[in-house]
A = this chain, B = another copy of it.
Amino acid sequence: MTRTAVVLLSGGLDSATVLAIARSEGFEIVALSFRYGQRHEAEIVAAQEIAKRAGVRRHEIVDIDLGVFGGSALTSDVAVPKGRSASEMSQGIPVTYVPARNTIFLSYALALAEVSGASDIYIGVNALDYSGYPDCRPEYIEAFERMANLATKAGVEGRPLTIQAPLMHQSKGEIIARGMQLGVDYAQTLSCYDPVAGGAACGECDACQLRLKGFAEAGVRDPVRYREQATAR
């Protein structure tokens, strides 16, 4: 019997790679994306393209309003930081941190896993590049999995759910190299926190800088379009 996995799909590089990994492990895919007070719709469009190309069984897009809680540059008017080096990014918890975001995302994924009969949830969190986000660490993922198996019918009835975070300890360069092997088309993915009109990536925000650094490490040219000649610092 084919096993089913729910894959959290943001439209970014990491989650596109995770989707390809889940498929390569033989899962039928139910993709889950969120529209959450983002500044732009482009990443939902990217997620839809990626899901379609991957031939997922189902793709749910859920509207959630994190903006009501404020407190993050991704959902409010705090300025997105630009031009920081990797070492600057690793200092403390970044302003782009959204309160409890991964917990809310994984909770919806848990509901969808239950109604889809999925045995696994895949999430593209990474402890190396985003060390400032508390909800990207292995101990957090393990605690969520434990909680999830106490929360649901499936867990109670002896069909435990596994939270898969296959990128947890990989560098951006390793993630990209893995995705290239699996045939991910990174031209479809979007990482920028602050894309300019027309959809080009800014090349300056933390996400663009990590991405450019990753492609440099992997020795591959990033196929997405940047505003200007952007390079990793």
Interface residues of A (CB under 8 A from B): 60, 62-66, 68-71, 93, 97-104, 106-108, 110-112, 114-115, 134-135, 137, 139-140, 143-144, 146-148, 150-153, 155-156
Q: Is the CB of A69 within 8 A of B111?
A: yes
List 5 A-B pairs, minimum CB-CB distance, nearest first. A100-B111, A143-B147, A99-B114, A99-B111, A71-B115
Q: Which residue of B lies closest to A64 (CB)?
A: B64
Q: In the complex, what residues of B have CB within 8 A of residue A100's CB?
A: 107-108, 110-111, 114, 148, 151-152
Interface of A is mostly: helix
Q: In the complex, what residues of B have CB within 8 A of residue A147's CB?
A: 103, 140, 143-144, 146-147
Q: Is the CB of B65 within 8 A of A115?
A: no
Task: Quickly give the copy total for this chain.
Answer: 2
Q: In the complex, what residues of B have CB within 8 A of residue A140's CB?
A: 147, 150-151
Q: In the complex, what residues of B have CB within 8 A of residue A155's CB?
A: 134
Q: Which residue of B lies closest to A150 (CB)?
A: B140
Partner of A110, one of B71, B93, B99: B99
Inter-chain CA distance A63–B63, complex, in Å, is 9
Q: In the complex, what residues of B have CB within 8 A of residue A101's CB?
A: 111
CB distance from A127 to the nearest CB of B (A): 12
Q: In the complex, what residues of B have CB within 8 A of residue A62's CB?
A: 65, 68
Inter-chain CA distance A103–B109, complex, in Å, is 11
Inter-chain CA distance A151–B135, complex, in Å, is 4
Q: Is the CB of A111 within 8 A of B115?
A: no
Partner of A115, one of B99, B106, B110, B135: B99
Q: Which residue of B lies closest to A149 (CB)?
A: B143
Q: Is the CB of A115 within 8 A of B70?
A: yes
Q: Is the CB of A68 within 8 A of B64?
A: no
Inter-chain CA distance A102–B103, complex, in Å, is 12
Q: Is the CB of B93 within 8 A of A103?
A: no
Q: In the complex, what residues of B have CB within 8 A of residue A111's CB?
A: 66, 69, 98-101, 103-104
Q: Is the CB of A110 within 8 A of B114?
A: no
CB distance from A122 to the nearest CB of B (A): 17
